[in-house]
Chains A and B, each alone.
Chain A
Amino acid sequence: MTLQSSRADARTELLHGTLDMLILRTLQWGPHHGYAIAQTLRAQSSEVLQVEAGSLYPALQRLAKKGWVTAKWGQTEANQRAKFYSITAEGKRQLARETSRWTQLVDAIARVMSPGAAPASKE
C-alpha cells in the first residue's frame, strides 16, 4: 500500500486494501455468504462500517480472482440459497501480511498524531 502514486489511485487502493483485509478477517472463522460478511462487519464495528453491496461484491470478486477466497453456492440455516466464501491458505498468508502492515501503519500514524506517547499496542 503505497502513498507515493497519484492521489486518487492511492485512495482507492487504500480503501480496497482495507476492505479486502476486513473481509478476509471475517472469513477467518469459517465460510460466510456476502450478506453475513456485511452484517458481521457492521456489528463488529459497532455500526460504523456500513459496507454497501456496491463495494462488497466487487471486492469479493477481486479476492476470488487473486485466489485468496473461493466461492460455493450452499444453503443457509434458514434454508436459503446463498453463495458462501471461504478463505484459502494463500488468503490466510495475505491476511497475516496485511495485518502486520496495518499495525505498523497505525503505530506510525499514532506516533505522528500524539508524539511522546507510548505505542498503542504491541502484539
Chain B
Amino acid sequence: MGMLSWLRRRRLDDVDLQDEIQSHLRLDVDERIARGDDPATARREALHDLGDVARVKDDARRTWTPRWLERLHDLADDVRYAVRSLTAQPGFALAVVGVLTLGIGANAAVFTMLKGIAFTPLAGVDRSDRLVVVHGETSSGRELRVSYPDYTHLRDHTDAFADLFGSGLATVTLGEGRSARQAWAELVTGNYFSALGVRPQLGRTLQPSDEVAPGAHPVAVISDAYWRRDLGANPDVIGTTIEINNYPLTIVGVADATFHGTIVSYDVDLFVPVMMAPQILVTGQPTMLAERGTGVVFPQGFLAPGVTREAAAARIDAAWATLSADRPITDAAQRLRLAPFWRSPTGAQTFILPTLGVLTIMGVFVLLVACANIAGLVLVRGVARRGELAVRLAIGATRARIVRLLVLENLVLAVPGTVFGITLALRGIPLLIAYADQLAAPQHVFFNTAVDGVVIAFAVLVACGSALVFGFVPALQNSRIDLVSVINEDASTRGAARGRLRSSLVVAQVAVSLLLLVGAGLASRSVDAARRADPGFDMRQVTAVETDVRQAGYDEARGRVFYRKLLDAARADRGVEVATLAAETPLGLLDSGARRVEIQGYEPRKGEDLALLWNTVGPDYFTTLRIALVAGRGFDDRDDEGAAQVAVVNATLAGRFWGGADNALGKRVRLGDDEWRTVVGVAADVKYSRINEAPRPYLYVPFFQAYRPRMVLQTKGSGAVESLVDQARANIASVDADVPVLSARSLAQATRGAFIFFDLAATMLLVFGAAGMLLAAMGTYGLVSYNVKQRTREIGIRMALGASALSVVRAFLGGGLRLGVAGAALGAAAALGLAQLLGSALFGVSPTDVPSFARALAVVLITVIMATLIPAWRASRTDPLRALRHQ
C-alpha cells in the first residue's frame, strides 16, 4: 500500500469510525431517555459505557495497518509528544537550540572553508581534490615552478598522469591608458581546459593548437566573472582585443560560468597560452620557454588509473635524472616533487591551511562545550520530569521506550539547531569572503564555499552525533528512576550517580572553556604582537601609488624621463618631505620573484640555491621608509645610469656572506647576468613578505641603473596620508595624463594583506573563545543553581537550626570552587598540550604564554564563582518556613 493512499485511507477510516461511535452514543442516549432517564444522566452513563474512545480508534486502526507502519506511527506519536513537551518549556528548548546553532554553525563554517580549500578546491571541476601538482625544489626547500622544457618532457615521457597540464599565475595589467587595472591571469598549456573538463559558454577554450610556437598565439579565454564584471556580459565579446601588459590579445572564448581557474582563492580573470609568456610577462625573456633554468608553470593533472602517488613520484624522479643527464642545470631546482593539490605550492593552500587546522580544532571544542552544556540542561530537566517518567514506567512503559523518547526529544531539538546552524554558516562565510575581497581589491578572491549536500550532510551528522552524545547519557540516567523514592517525593536520596554526572559535566565545561579561552588569548596576543612588531620600516604617512608607463606606450628611454619628472614633481609638492620609487612594497604577503645572485668571495656549494629576493628602488628610498642604514649610504640622485653600478644589501646578507656590515662595504655582487655592482650600504632587515618571516638575505639596486616600467611612487609627508595619496595621483596625471594609476593607497593599506590572516584567525578564535565561555558560564550557572534549588529544603532546615546565611553561601561556594578548580586544572593541562599545535598560527607569543593562561584562568574561575554565588546567595535569603514547605 502506498504511503499516501494509506494515509488518506486512514483519515477516512478515522472519520468513519468517529461517525459510527457518535451514532452508537446517540442510539444509547435515546434509548436511555426513552427508558426515563434525564438527558444529562443518559449522556453521562452512555459515555461511561462506551469506554475509552481513543483506544477504540487505535485498535480499529491496528486491524488495517501493517506492523512497520504502526511502528512508524508510534514514532510519529513520540515525536509529537516530544514537541509538545518541549514547547511546554520554551526556555529550555530555546537555550538548547541556541547553543546548538552556535556549535553547528561554527563547525559548518569551518568545514565549508576546509572543503573549499582541500576537498573540492576548484569550482566547475570534477574531483578536483584528486589533482596532483609537480613543483621544483631547491636544496634549501624552496618551491619553484617547472621550466617549459621539463614540463613537456614530463607530459610526453611519463605515463603516470591522465593528462598533465601546466598553469602559472601572473599578475598583469589589463586594459590600456587610464582605465587599466591589475588582474590575475593564468598562463596555461593547450590541454588545460580539456584535462580539467571545462567547457566554454561562449566561443572556444584554449586547445593544443594554441601551444605550438612561442609568441605565435595572441589569444585569451576570459573568465565568466571578468566577462560579467568588466564587460557587462557582452555577447559580442568574441574576437575583440584586450591589452595584457600592453600586449594585444584576441578574446576567443568565455569559460564556463562555474569555473574560476585553478589558483585557489584567486578569482582569475583570464587564461592565456603559455606560449605568450615571453610577450606578456614583466620578466619575460625571448628564450625563456627554451631554458631549463626558468620556471614557468606548475604541471598538474589527475593520476592515470592504477598509478599511486608514490609510483608517480618515482617516475618523476626518473624523468628528472634523464633530463639532467642531457642538460644539467646548476642554479635552479635540484629535484622535482609531487604534492597533492591541497598542499599545492601556489594559491591559498600555502597560507590558509595551518589557520584552518587551528580553527577546526577550536570548532570541535565549541561543539564539545555546547554538548556538555546541553547534557547539563537535559539532565536538570530530567530531574524535574521524574514524576512524569515514573508514571510512565508505572503504567508499563519499558525503559528502552523511555530512553527512546528522551533521545527523540534531543533529536527534535537538533533539527532547528541544524537548520539555524547551516543558515549561520551560509550568512557568515560570504561576510568573510567579502572582507577578503575588499582587501584584495582591485583584484578579486574566490573560494569554492558553496554549501552543498556534503556540508549539509556534515552538519546533520554533527547535529545527530551531538544530540546522541548530549542526550543519551542523561537519558539513561533519567530513565533509571527509583519509583519508591519518587512516590515518596524524597529529594535527598535521589541518585548519587546523577550528582556525579552533574559534577563531571561542570568540570568538563570549565575545562573545555578554559581551553578555548587560552586559544583566544594566545590568538589576540599574537595579533597584538604582530601589530606592535617592528617590521623594520615606518609605514606611517607614506603612500604607495602604482603605475606602469608601458600602458601609455613608453619605451625605456621615455620611461626614465617620465619617472625623473615624476620624482621632481612629487618632491616639489607642498607637504611632501621626501619621495622615492620602488618596484615592491614591503610586507606584501607573497614573495615576489627571486633572482640568481653571485656574491664576491663566496663559492656556492654544488646545487646550492643562491636565488635571493631583491628590489629596485629610487633615490632616498631608505629615508622615505625610515629603514636604518647599518653601514655606508643609501641611494641618492648620483646613482644614475652614468655612475658606477652600486647595490645596497641587508644586514642578514652582509652577516651571512661577509661576516658583518662593515666588511660588506666595497664588496661586489651580481644579479643574474647583469654587471657586477659594488656594495655601498648595508640596510637593516625588513619584513619583506610576512610579519612572521625569518630574517633572510635581500638586495636593493637603484632604479636608474635597473629600469623597470612598473613602479610604485612613495611619498612621505606630514599631512593626512589620504591627501598625500591624492597629491601623488595628481603628480602622475600632471606629468602625463595617459599613464594609468594601477592602485593608489597608503603604505599601511598596502601591507594589510600581510596581517589579514592573523586578523581573520584571531577574530574567529576570539569568537569561538567567547562563545565557549558564554556557553560554559550558562551551563555551570544552570547546573550549580539547580543543585542549590534542589537543596532548598536542606537550607531551610539548616537556617531554622540557626545556620547563618554566610555559612550557607560558604558551603555552596566551596563545592562550586572545587569543581571549578578541578576543571581549570584539567583544562590548563590540555591547553598546554594543544597550544603547541597553535605554534604555526602564532606570532611573537610562546604557546605557554603566562598572561594568556592567567587571564583565561581568572575569567573561568570568576565565572564559576559568580555562577555559584548568585544562586547560593538567593538560597540563603529564603524564608526557612517556606523552604520547609517547599516539598
Q: A58-B60, A78-B30 are in contact. Are A53 and B23 (CB under 8 A)?
A: no
* Chain A CB within 8 A of B53 CB: yes
Closest CB in chain B relative to A94 CB, distance in Å: 17
* B16, B17, B49, B63: the one within 8 Å of A52 (CB): B49
Q: Once bound together, how far apart are the Cα atoms of A57 and B55, in whole Å?
A: 10
Q: A53-B24, A53-B56, A83-B23 are in contact. Are A62 and B63 (CB under 8 A)?
A: yes
Q: A53-B51, A78-B30, A80-B30 are in contact. Are A61 and B24 (CB under 8 A)?
A: no
In contact, A54 and B28 (Cβ under 8 angstroms): no
The DSSP consensus for interface residues of chain B is: helix
Q: Once bound together, how far apart are the Cα atoms of A83 and B21, in whole Å?
A: 10
Q: A53-B21, A53-B50, A53-B51 are in contact. Are A82 and B59 (CB under 8 A)?
A: no
Count of chain A residues with a beta carbon within 8 Å of a chain B beta carbon: 20
In contact, A52 and B59 (Cβ under 8 angstroms): no
Question: Restricting to B1-50, which residues have a CB under 8 Å from any CB of A?
Answer: 16-17, 19-21, 23-24, 26-28, 30-31, 49-50
Which A residue sits closest to B58, measured CB to CB? A58
Question: Interface residues of B toward A: which range?
Answer: 20 to 34
* Chain A CB within 8 A of B52 CB: yes
CB-defined contacts of A57 to chain B, threshold 8 Å: 17, 20-21, 56, 59-60
Q: Once bound together, how far apart are the Cα atoms of A53 and B47, in whole Å?
A: 10
Q: Once bound together, how far apart are the Cα atoms of A33 and B30, in whole Å?
A: 15
Which B residue sits closest to A36, measured CB to CB? B27
Question: Restricting to B49-81, which residues have a CB under 8 Å from any CB of A?
Answer: 49-53, 55-56, 59-60, 62-64
* Chain B CB within 8 A of A122 CB: no
In contact, A61 and B51 (Cβ under 8 angstroms): no
Which A residue sits closest to B23, measured CB to CB? A82
Which B residue sits closest to A81, measured CB to CB? B23
* A36, A54, A62, A81: the one within 8 Å of B51 (CB): A54
Which B residue sits closest to A58, measured CB to CB? B59
* Chain B CB within 8 A of A102 CB: no
In contact, A54 and B64 (Cβ under 8 angstroms): no
In contact, A65 and B24 (Cβ under 8 angstroms): no
Question: Restricting to A37-95, which residues have a CB under 8 Å from any CB of B?
Answer: 38-39, 52-54, 57-58, 61-62, 65, 76, 78, 80-83
* Chain B CB within 8 A of A31 CB: no
In contact, A65 and B23 (Cβ under 8 angstroms): no
Closest CB in chain B relative to A83 CB, distance in Å: 5
* Chain B CB within 8 A of A17 CB: no
Q: Once bound together, how far apart are the Cα atoms of A34 and B56, in whole Å?
A: 13
Q: Once bound together, how far apart are the Cα atoms of A40 and B64, in whole Å?
A: 27
CB-defined contacts of A53 to chain B, threshold 8 Å: 21, 24, 49-51, 53, 56
In contact, B59 and A54 (Cβ under 8 angstroms): yes
In contact, B20 and A34 (Cβ under 8 angstroms): yes
Closest CB in chain A relative to B788 CB, distance in Å: 48
Which A residue sits closest to B26, measured CB to CB? A80
Question: Restricting to B547-584, which residues have a CB under 8 Å from any CB of A?
Answer: none
Q: Once bound together, how far apart are the Cα atoms of A34 and B20, in whole Å?
A: 8
In contact, B23 and A61 (Cβ under 8 angstroms): no
In contact, B63 and A33 (Cβ under 8 angstroms): no
CB-defined contacts of A76 to chain B, threshold 8 Å: 27
Which B residue sits closest to A35, measured CB to CB? B27
Closest CB in chain A relative to B372 CB, distance in Å: 45
CB-defined contacts of A81 to chain B, threshold 8 Å: 19, 23
Which B residue sits closest to A78, measured CB to CB? B30
CB-defined contacts of B63 to chain A, threshold 8 Å: 58, 61-62, 65
In contact, B56 and A35 (Cβ under 8 angstroms): no
Q: Once bound together, how far apart are the Cα atoms of A39 and B55, in whole Å?
A: 21
Closest CB in chain A relative to B31 CB, distance in Å: 8
Q: Once bound together, how far apart are the Cα atoms of A52 and B49, in whole Å?
A: 7
Q: Once bound together, how far apart are the Cα atoms of A88 and B654, in whole Å?
A: 112
Q: Once bound together, how far apart are the Cα atoms of A39 and B17, in whole Å?
A: 19
Closest CB in chain A relative to B27 CB, distance in Å: 4
A-B residue pairs in contact (CB < 8 Å), sample of 27: A33-B23, A33-B27, A34-B20, A34-B24, A35-B24, A53-B24, A53-B51, A53-B53, A53-B56, A54-B50, A54-B51, A54-B52, A54-B55, A54-B56, A57-B20, A57-B56, A57-B60, A58-B56, A58-B62, A65-B63, A80-B27, A81-B19, A81-B23, A82-B23, A82-B27, A83-B16, A83-B19
A-B complex: 9 closest residue pairs judged by Cβ atoms: A58-B59, A35-B27, A54-B51, A52-B51, A61-B63, A82-B23, A61-B60, A53-B50, A35-B24
In the complex, besides A53-B51, A80-B27, A83-B16, 20 extra interface pairs with C-beta distance below 8 angstroms are A33-B24, A34-B23, A35-B27, A36-B27, A38-B24, A39-B31, A52-B49, A52-B50, A52-B51, A57-B20, A57-B56, A57-B60, A58-B59, A58-B60, A58-B62, A58-B63, A65-B64, A80-B26, A80-B30, A81-B19
